[in-house]
Structure 1
Amino acid sequence: MNAVLKQKKAVFGLVIVALLCLTALLAPVLAPNDPAARVGRPHQPPSTEHVLGTTKMGRDVFAQFVWGARSSLAVGFATGLAITALGTLLGLFGGYFGGRTDNALDLLTNAVLVIPNIPLLILLASFAGKVGPVAIMTIIALTSWPWGARMTRSQTLALRNREFVVAARMIGEPSWRVVFVEILPNLLPLIALNFVGSVIYAIVAQTTLEYLGFGDPLNVSWGTMLYNAQNSSAIIVGAWWDIATPCIGIMLVGLGLSLVNFTFDEIANPQLRSGPALTRWLQLSNRRKRLSRSGS
């Protein structure tokens, strides 16, 4: 964690995500009224009374934004956790035990991996009809774990024959302890990378499904806000605030998590840390130029 906090971009990303999560937690305080209640005129522009304006139905956009953050962030983080846990477990077991176990899990992973995720999500959602947040979480989690499983499996294959793992097996350590105590801690940067990427994907996938009309219209989220804005032709009538507000929320979550994701990527792959290396190279190059000038 110290390595993450030393990176300015990671700290900036964590601050963005923390502020959005705090906004979602404080929704009853920031917007105590019902977000579905009519409180103003249709498509009223931002003002002191309604800081982010109103929708076509006269609903306060700020109230919908903070309450929608609860649903979107909860689905994103819960689904990301489920995707990461499922992919990590399958990758660990397949990579460590090998043989038929690995072949079966690898076949299952490849079968799900070759299917385009978004069309599969739309197909499953169309069969289910209007789906709530829990159903959306389940659909996304069951179709989005293969990437993390492949990544975890490849690293487990590289670690299972390392000296400390072989030594643990030779002294009689049970397989579960070798997997979870010896191998798993060495995969934490990779797991964190997988989790952050899964959260971003889950929020985008949920927004996509709800924007296309497969979500529950009674559940307030950033996706249903976009769906309602589209149905009310917000862009055509000039009510830019109706569609810009949820878009900015999704953009900020993606920006914050991406900055954290870049840091985890650099921890997992030190070769990507080009910033310090480039600085040292420039300093060395300038020093050589000064020496050559003084010698001439």
Structure 2
Amino acid sequence: MTIPADDRTGAGVPATAVLLTAERTPAPRKTFWTQLGASLAMFGNRKSAAGLIILGVFILVAVFAPWIAPYGPSVQHLDATLQPPSWQHLLGTTHIGEDVFSQLVYGTRGVLVVGFLATIMATVVAIVVGVTAGYLRGWKSESLSALSNVFLVLPGLPLMIIIASQFEDPPLVVIAAVLGLTGWAWGARVLRAQTMSLRNRDFIQAARANGEPLHRIILVEMLPNLMAIIASSFVGTMTAAVLGLTTLAFIGVIPVSNLNWGTILFWAQQNSAFPDYWWWYVPAGLCIALLGVALALINFGIDEYVNPRLRSAGERARALKKRGIDANAAVTAVRTIPSPATTGSDQESTPV
């Protein structure tokens, strides 16, 4: 019997057949660009975008430093010592005529190189220790947890001073390793707690029941769900690494040959630039603060993406702002909307 076309979803075909047909419809396939867009969604809000723009400017300055800086960082102009900012020297000169703007530009490279290297090292160690300690059970998990707790309570700055002072002229890799060694424990602790909540989820239990190997469960099943936490930990660790580097340079632990913003502050302090010669130390301090603000904005954006309450509150505030309503106002705005049933001057006040 031929079922009419307009009756195939009615009494002519059982409801179960219709449901089975609907269930067999293949889901749209996720392409590489779709997965990449989903991974970068945490950076889609305005806070993260502003932080990424500022960080991108610093990266461009570090990459194109030889073309941006008008002079070499150690070129001396003995006829123009301790000069205030001018067209010839945009940020003035030091006590031996070195251009402060050129030193600031070249110092950006040292800060970002050490910051990224230290953060990558610390993040890798935090992922290995934290995720492994969260997934395993028994004495193995407790041992890794105790190791991260020990590094978490160790005083970071004294430990960095002790390790860095053992080298006469440490290269950037050694400085980054010292900063990474003292900065991985917090991220490992957070990842362990998040992994412990994931290991009892249904999809992890299903993968374990199917006989999936451990490395595949961690790499394929767990890490994609931990990317937001890892990104937040990466940003926080980089902030601590930049502050640690500039602190070590300012107190003179790192040799002055490793030019960075902390080195500029060190020479300014050694030559009594405070407070008269403000152009020597204020730009370096502002760059440290601006980079910290950029990383903080990125971290705030990631936190808003991870936390559902913050994300819904942000979306609501943006929706109200588009409608011309201040979300922080103490009184709810009321707009007068004409009623369809009224004519002329008769209107009905409806709160929005």
- Asked whether the two chains share a fold, i.e. TM above 0.5, the reply is yes
CA RMSD of aligned residues (A): 2.4
Whole-Å separation in 1 of the counterparts to 2:306 and 2:207: 24
Equivalent in the alignment of 2:50: 12
Equivalent in the alignment of 2:332: 286
| Cα gap change, 1:294 to 1:220, in 2 (>3 Å) | closer
Residue-pair matches, total: 293
Alpha carbons 1:132, 1:215 under 8 Å: kept: no
Instruction: Give the deviation of 1:2 after TM superposition.
Output: 4.8
Any idea what the Cα deviations from partners look like across 1:135-163, whole Å, max 9, x if unmatched? Answer: 22111111111100000000100001111
| Cα gap change, 1:75 to 1:158, in 2 (>3 Å) | same
Counterparts of residues 140-159 of structure 1 (less than 5 Å): 140-159=179-198
Alpha carbons 1:129, 1:214 under 8 Å: kept: no
Instruction: Give the deviation of 1:167 after TM superposition.
Output: 0.7
| Cα gap change, 1:130 to 1:211, in 2 (>3 Å) | farther
Any idea what the Cα deviations from partners look like across 1:235-268, whole Å, max 9, x if unmatched? Answer: 14x1101101111111111111110110111122
Alpha carbons 1:87, 1:148 under 8 Å: kept: yes
Tell whether 2:251 aligns with 1:205: no
Equivalent in the alignment of 1:196: 235
Tell whether 2:280 aligns with 1:234: no
The match for 1:187 among 209, 226, 234 is 226
Q: Taking structure 2 as the reference length, what is the TM-score of the superposition?
A: 0.77
Tell me which protein shows more helix as a share of its residues: 1
Amino acid at match of 2:227: L
Q: Taking structure 1 as the reference length, what is the TM-score of the superposition?
A: 0.91
Tell whether 2:293 aligns with 1:252: no
Q: Relative contact order, CA 8 A, sep 6+: which one is greater?
A: 1
Whole-Å separation in 2 of the counterparts to 1:286 and 1:32: 55
Q: Which moved more, 1:177-186 or 1:55-64?
A: 55-64
Alpha carbons 2:42, 2:228 under 8 Å: kept: no
Whole-Å separation in 1 of the counterparts to 2:258 and 2:43: 36
The match for 2:69 among 31, 34, 51 is 31
Alpha carbons 1:44, 1:54 under 8 Å: kept: yes
Unaligned runs of 5+ in 1: none
Instruction: Give the deviation of 1:122 after TM superposition.
Output: 2.2
Equivalent in the alignment of 1:243: 281
Whole-Å separation in 2 of the counterparts to 1:223 and 1:199: 16
The DSSP-based 3-state class of the residue aligned with 1:254 is: helix
Any idea what the Cα deviations from partners look like across 1:24-73, whole Å, max 9, x if unmatched? Answer: 11111112642111035221111000001111121111110111000001
The match for 1:125 among 164, 182, 199 is 164
Equivalent in the alignment of 1:103: 142
Whole-Å separation in 2 of the counterparts to 1:172 and 1:101: 21
The DSSP-based 3-state class of the residue aligned with 2:86 is: coil
Alpha carbons 2:118, 2:180 under 8 Å: kept: yes
Instruction: Give the deviation of 1:4 after TM superposition.
Output: 3.6
Tell whether 2:129 aligns with 1:90: yes
Percent identical among aligned pairs is 40
Unaligned runs of 5+ in 2: 1-38, 321-326, 337-347
Alpha carbons 1:130, 1:214 under 8 Å: kept: no
Q: Which has the larger radius of gyration?
A: 2
Alpha carbons 2:77, 2:96 under 8 Å: kept: no
Instruction: Give the deviation of 1:103 after TM superposition.
Output: 1.0
Equivalent in the alignment of 1:272: 310
Alpha carbons 2:69, 2:105 under 8 Å: kept: yes
Whole-Å separation in 2 of the counterparts to 1:33 and 1:49: 10
Q: Which moved more, 1:111-120 or 1:21-30?
A: 111-120
Whole-Å separation in 1 of the counterparts to 2:99 and 2:231: 36
Counterparts of residues 162-173 of structure 1 (less than 5 Å): 162-173=201-212
Instruction: Give the deviation of 1:177 after TM superposition.
Output: 0.1
Instruction: Give the deviation of 1:81 after TM superposition.
Output: 1.2
Alpha carbons 2:109, 2:260 under 8 Å: kept: yes
Whole-Å separation in 1 of the counterparts to 2:156 and 2:126: 15
Instruction: Give the deviation of 1:286 after TM superposition.
Output: 3.0
Equivalent in the alignment of 2:256: 217
Instruction: Give the deviation of 1:277 after TM superposition.
Output: 4.5
The DSSP-based 3-state class of the residue aligned with 1:161 is: coil
The match for 2:99 among 57, 60, 64 is 60
Whole-Å separation in 2 of the counterparts to 1:61 and 1:199: 25
Alpha carbons 2:84, 2:279 under 8 Å: kept: yes
